[in-house]
Chains A and B, each alone.
Chain A
Amino acid sequence: MEIGLSLENLGSMFAYDASQPLIFNSGLFLFLFAAFLFFYGFLRRATMARIVYVILFSLYFYYKSSGLYFLLLIFAATSDFCIARVMSRTPKGCGRGWLMFLSVAVNLGMLGYFKYTNFFVGIANDLVGDGFLEFKNIFLPVGISFFVFQSMSYTIDVYRGTLKPLTNWLDYLFYLSFFPQLVAGPIVRARDFIPQIRQNPIRVTRTMFGMGVFLILCGLFKKAVISDYISANFVDRIFDDPTLYSGFECLMGVYGYALQIYCDFSGYSDMAIGIALLLGFRFPRNFDAPYKSATITEFWRRWHISLSSWLRDYLYISLGGNRKGKIRTYVNLLLTMLLGGLWHGAALRFVLWGGLHGVALALHKMWMSAFPKAKMLGSEMKWGWRIVGVVFTFHVVCFGWLFFRADTMQKVGDVLRQIATNFNPQIAPQLVSGYAGVFLLMGIGYLLHLVPRRGDRFAERTAVAMPLAAHVLLAAAMVWLVMQVKSADIQPFIYFQF
């Protein structure tokens, strides 16, 4: 066995590379995080130095994924910090509303320009005719949807008077750029986060440390093992060409995608929350086993909680919420979900996905008012109803995922047609044995998802009680597994005869 050493890549590894963003499950992050933690430990009592140190690391973290656009992050922080300062000194009725409008305009302007320009160009061209407007080559800064929403939560809260504005610009930059949640959430509210910035000394309790490690490992397993493996080896190919596969394969593809997107999203969130815990910061829970929901309303209390509560507090309530009559409530729900859908991506299919959820939520609200004895949450229902509710809600959500994932409406139709007319369930044994790894992981994923809360608690307590050596060995085993999955050969497409 020969060992080769090549250091020429070393320099470029640390430079901005859009194709190699710094994500938590990369090897480079592990080394950088180790170096970061080394100095961080010395700064637990040096508040200002710690703030500057974390900001610099966070800006580098952002630079690695988005290059010079880290300046945009600084701009967003500066703009909202200044607006909030001025707002706090402006008495009610003397232009506070205009300042609020300015903050929203700047934030949504940034988001609109970077994320939605080409979407609107496409719509304009569809309406007026091809070539009416030219598509622009615009870079999408990583995580812009998250930090814009975080920043808006700050100015809106200051406007509403529920939050006192910060007096130090660095504190605000710290809040907005804090690297654990910077690129993929959770959307941490200013009022939850700001009080934690100037802790002195920073304190990480045993529970925080144990939970942090537990969440990071769970997140790694969900994101880098389950999600990455089943997407590359099964789900992507079904959605690339649904008509090549039987209806049964398409249905499994949809179930697979439901698990993939949950594991991807919540896994990354878990890692962010875990990393923040290791640094002494507590984030709210972002996912709470959403596929256990027995109603669509419950689903939105368990799925991407930081986003759904943001939409509720800053969009739904701003639109009037349920205070303006039943019809307005339904309209507000629909509008909120349509915009929530658009937030996920600049394409009509995301709007449709949002619309579908909006309609489902409105229908559920109608159902609840028509049958006042009906229960809102699964935990309040009898077992039989709960199972029916969970299965039904899961399928409504899966139907929504179909729009979320399929890149054209034709593909949505193709998948549904294959399921309805070309189901061929007899290939199930072949399929499961042909894609043994995929189905094993899907089984584990759904099984773990359905573990009762007691089971989760038990695992969390065990993780907290473990000694450091056990944490390290468990983490090493997880990283080894992640590396095996990353380097495992892609399973060639299997085209079953059906």
Chain B
Amino acid sequence: MSQDYSRQGFKAVAWLIVVLLGVSFIPPQTVGNVTLRRANILSDIVTFDDPEKEVMEILDERDYEIDLAQVALRVAEAKAVNTLPDSVPTTIEWNLMPLPDSIPTTEMELTPPTRMIPIATPIEDFDETGYSRVEAFYRKLQTNGLTTRIAVLGDSFIEGDIMTAELREQLQQRYGGQGAGFAPMDYPLSGFRQTIRATSNGWTTYNILQNKTPAWLKEDYFISGWMSIPSTGASTRWEAPLRTGLLSTPGATGDFCERVRILFISRSNSRVEVTVNDATKRTFEIQGSDEVRQIVVRAPIRSLTFRVAGGANGFIGYGAIFEGETGVVVDNYAVRSDNGRALLRTNPSIDAQIDALIGGYDLIVLQYGLNILQADLYSYTRYGSQLEKMIAYARQCFPRAGIVVMGVSDRSVKSSNGQFEPMRSATALLKAQRGAAERMGAAFWSTFDAIRSQGGISQFVRNGWAGKDYTHVNFAGGRRVAWSLFDAVNDAAEQHKPIIWIRHDPVITPETEQEFKWK
């Protein structure tokens, strides 16, 4: 009879434990690019205090090279565009509803804000000049009859209108406004975005961070980071989302906005068609020019189709901004894997032209950092300097806007025993971001604190509000971040009520003039 091995199992497992206990004493190693952790079989009861590895900040500063004097010059040229005698009309209006009566600029009657997140994460404004553009934004926000524009520039953290959808929703409910803001002409992720439905065809679309943009187009990017080149007949149709709860309250007729601004460049003569609600169509003959143009459609809009019927050569489509007559407009400009370098690659002249065409942004939010953050990097001073450039650049292009730097979000990494723990280097990046905002007199808001005040990213993952990379929030998590930012805006707005200039009647009116004549 062959040997029995029933006791061999114990021997094997016992020896295995002995070997593994020995392996526990092998300290962490780095082999090539791979980090090998300590394999501690008793990690629940025995801990090793391994020294933390620290790496130097490596940043290719060529990615952020920018001549700010040149930017200023180009912005100045852009401002002069409309004043030149031979300039083409840059705004083409199509009114399908009567112009509203002019609304007097009065202070809104607002109820005291109810905080949505119990622990406040305030916006820190470092502007000490007394002319803070961020404060001006708070005041404008609470003034009837005005349009307050916010642009949120960021990375995959806000891609597909994450966070901004809810911020827009809340701001529009409190301060008025309609529409889902900016939507690119053609966008590979339009299916992901829940606040606007878009179908497009016939466009070739480029992204600012891709290398495949043709050289002759590289200089034509706007802050959206996308541009679309049409073939003849290319078209895009935007319509209200299926889930209206995600967007500002639709109008009584089911319309989801009152005004659309379609933004494009037509370097040669072209013919475009705009169809509103699949019913009313108008063709526009566009005279060729280098300037950015906008077609402004005013109507109760449920859907809008834009088609390039002719003259596709030299045509660049950017997208459209969906908005109300007044109130808040929040535009989402997300470029995945960006860390701010995309902004510096845009054409400042185009940025400034569009800013002027739409009436100017009041607030620019810069949400970057996730693509810079590293677990073992505890100094981000070089990146902080680049962020200063971004703030300066945004100021040049959007001179009326206050700048808010949105600090990096909370993020977790695995510890040696496989459990998730907060990435401690995030506070170092936050420090660099806050420092850049402070040095530039901009404002700062800590996404990190906002998430931490609601339990941190690990709690977000447990609640299904964030992805399992413990980095990216999803729509549900974005809502929570937006609530915190909305609270911060409300709190600040309470402190900065609008200054309404009281219009006194003149001493002599036409009536009194008549009276005197009569006498």
Contact indicator per residue, chain B 490-514, by CB within 8 Å of chain A (1) or not (0):
0000000000000000000000000
B13 proximity list for chain A (CB < 8 A): 30, 33-34, 37
Closest 6 pairs between A and B when the two form their complex, measured CB to CB:
A243-B192, A495-B336, A37-B10, A209-B5, A2-B49, A243-B191
B468 proximity list for chain A (CB < 8 A): 232, 236-237, 240, 490
Q: Which of A202-254 contact B (CB under 8 A)?
A: 202-206, 208-209, 212-213, 232, 236-237, 240-241, 243-244, 246
B3 proximity list for chain A (CB < 8 A): 206
A279 CA to B6 CA, complexed, in Å: 7
23 pairs across A/B with beta carbons < 8 Å?
A27-B43, A28-B44, A30-B13, A41-B6, A41-B10, A203-B6, A204-B4, A209-B8, A243-B192, A244-B160, A244-B189, A278-B9, A279-B6, A468-B11, A469-B15, A475-B12, A479-B39, A479-B41, A480-B23, A489-B413, A490-B413, A492-B469, A495-B159
Interface size class of B (residues with CB under 8 A): 35 or more
Which listed residue (A2, A30, A280) contacts B6, Cβ 8 A?
A280
A5 proximity list for chain B (CB < 8 A): 45-47
Total inter-chain residue pairs, C-beta < 8 Å: 180
Stretch from B166-174, B258-266, B470-478 forming part of the interface with A: B470-478
Which listed residue (A6, A468, A496) contacts B47, Cβ 8 A?
A6
Given contact pairs A422-B188, A468-B8, a sample of 18 additional A-B residue pairs in the complex whose CB atoms are under 8 Å apart: A2-B48, A5-B46, A10-B44, A10-B45, A33-B13, A34-B10, A44-B4, A206-B5, A244-B159, A279-B6, A279-B9, A468-B11, A472-B15, A472-B16, A483-B37, A483-B39, A484-B36, A489-B414
Which listed residue (B12, B17, B467, B470) contacts A31, Cβ 8 A?
B17
A206 proximity list for chain B (CB < 8 A): 2-3, 5
A458 proximity list for chain B (CB < 8 A): none
Q: How far is the CB of A200 from chain B (nearest CB, A)?
A: 12
B207 proximity list for chain A (CB < 8 A): 497
A16 CA to B43 CA, complexed, in Å: 19
Which listed residue (A33, A40, A422, A487) contacts B414, Cβ 8 A?
A487
B45 touches A241 (CB 8 A): no
Q: Is A128 an interface residue (CB 8 A)?
A: no
Q: Is A91 an interface residue (CB 8 A)?
A: no
A10 CA to B417 CA, complexed, in Å: 16
A41 CA to B14 CA, complexed, in Å: 13
Q: Is B156 an interface residue (CB 8 A)?
A: yes
Q: How far is the CB of A18 from chain B (nearest CB, A)?
A: 14
A484 proximity list for chain B (CB < 8 A): 36-37, 39
Contact indicator per residue, chain A 161-199, by CB within 8 Å of chain B (1) or not (0):
000000000000000000000000000000000000000
| A residues at B contact (CB < 8 Å) | 1-7, 9-10, 13, 27-28, 30-31, 33-34, 37-38, 40-41, 44, 201-206, 208-209, 212-213, 232, 236-237, 240-241, 243-244, 246, 278-280, 414, 417-418, 422, 424, 468-469, 471-473, 475-476, 479-480, 483-484, 486-498
Which listed residue (A33, A209, A473) contacts B19, Cβ 8 A?
A473
Which listed residue (A3, A204, A492) contacts B9, Cβ 8 A?
A204
Q: How far is the CB of B272 from chain A (nearest CB, A)?
A: 25
Contact indicator per residue, chain B 456-498, by CB within 8 Å of chain A (1) or not (0):
0000000000011111101000000000000000000000000
With A493-B467, A493-B471 in contact, do A498 and B16 touch (Cβ < 8 Å)?
Answer: no
Q: Is B416 an interface residue (CB 8 A)?
A: yes
Q: Is B20 an interface residue (CB 8 A)?
A: yes
Q: Is B210 an interface residue (CB 8 A)?
A: yes
Q: How far is the CB of A80 from chain B (nearest CB, A)?
A: 30
A306 CA to B414 CA, complexed, in Å: 37
With A9-B45, A480-B23, A497-B207 in contact, do A488 and B4 touch (Cβ < 8 Å)?
Answer: no
B10 proximity list for chain A (CB < 8 A): 34, 37-38, 40-41
Q: Is B251 an interface residue (CB 8 A)?
A: no
Q: How far is the CB of A69 from chain B (nearest CB, A)?
A: 23
A3 proximity list for chain B (CB < 8 A): 46-49
A469 CA to B19 CA, complexed, in Å: 11
With A468-B12, A489-B414 in contact, do A208 and B23 touch (Cβ < 8 Å)?
Answer: no
B44 proximity list for chain A (CB < 8 A): 9-10, 13, 27-28
Q: Is B346 an interface residue (CB 8 A)?
A: no
Q: How far is the CB of A219 from chain B (nearest CB, A)?
A: 15
Q: How far is the CB of A196 from chain B (nearest CB, A)?
A: 13
A44 proximity list for chain B (CB < 8 A): 4, 6
Q: How far is the CB of A404 from chain B (nearest CB, A)?
A: 19
With A1-B49, A30-B13 in contact, do A486 and B336 touch (Cβ < 8 Å)?
Answer: no
Q: Which of B172-220 contact A (CB under 8 A)?
A: 188-189, 191-192, 207, 209-210
With A201-B4, A232-B468, A243-B191 in contact, do A489 and B375 touch (Cβ < 8 Å)?
Answer: yes
Q: Is B132 an interface residue (CB 8 A)?
A: no
A476 touches B337 (CB 8 A): no
A417 CA to B45 CA, complexed, in Å: 49
Which of B6, B415, B471, B472 has most A Cβ within 10 Å? B6
With A34-B17, A243-B191, A484-B36 in contact, do A471 and B45 touch (Cβ < 8 Å)?
Answer: no
A472 CA to B23 CA, complexed, in Å: 13
Q: Which of B406-442 contact A (CB under 8 A)?
A: 413-418
A472 touches B12 (CB 8 A): yes
Q: How far is the CB of A5 from chain B (nearest CB, A)?
A: 6
B210 touches A30 (CB 8 A): no
A5 CA to B44 CA, complexed, in Å: 9
Q: How far is the CB of A3 from chain B (nearest CB, A)?
A: 6
A4 CA to B47 CA, complexed, in Å: 5
A424 CA to B156 CA, complexed, in Å: 19
- Nearest CB in chain A to that of B47: its residue: A4
A241 proximity list for chain B (CB < 8 A): 192, 474
A306 CA to B336 CA, complexed, in Å: 46
Q: Is B27 an interface residue (CB 8 A)?
A: yes
A7 proximity list for chain B (CB < 8 A): 45
A417 CA to B188 CA, complexed, in Å: 12
A10 CA to B45 CA, complexed, in Å: 7
Q: How far is the CB of A246 from chain B (nearest CB, A)?
A: 7
Q: Is B50 an interface residue (CB 8 A)?
A: yes
Q: How far is the CB of B239 from chain A (nearest CB, A)?
A: 17
With A208-B5, A487-B414, A489-B375 in contact, do A1 and B45 touch (Cβ < 8 Å)?
Answer: no
B188 proximity list for chain A (CB < 8 A): 246, 422, 424, 498
B467 proximity list for chain A (CB < 8 A): 237, 240, 493
B414 proximity list for chain A (CB < 8 A): 486-490
A103 CA to B402 CA, complexed, in Å: 73
A6 proximity list for chain B (CB < 8 A): 45, 47
A246 CA to B468 CA, complexed, in Å: 19
A208 proximity list for chain B (CB < 8 A): 5
A417 proximity list for chain B (CB < 8 A): 191
B209 proximity list for chain A (CB < 8 A): 497
Q: Is B7 an interface residue (CB 8 A)?
A: yes
B9 touches A209 (CB 8 A): yes
B210 proximity list for chain A (CB < 8 A): 497
With A236-B468, A480-B39, A497-B207 in contact, do A4 and B375 touch (Cβ < 8 Å)?
Answer: no
B17 touches A1 (CB 8 A): no
A232 CA to B471 CA, complexed, in Å: 13
A498 CA to B209 CA, complexed, in Å: 11
A279 proximity list for chain B (CB < 8 A): 6, 9
Q: How far is the CB of A26 from chain B (nearest CB, A)?
A: 10
A350 CA to B120 CA, complexed, in Å: 44
A424 proximity list for chain B (CB < 8 A): 188
Q: Which of B319-366 contact A (CB under 8 A)?
A: 336-337
A279 CA to B9 CA, complexed, in Å: 8
A359 CA to B469 CA, complexed, in Å: 38
- Nearest CB in chain A to that of B370: its residue: A492
A392 CA to B243 CA, complexed, in Å: 38
A11 CA to B78 CA, complexed, in Å: 72
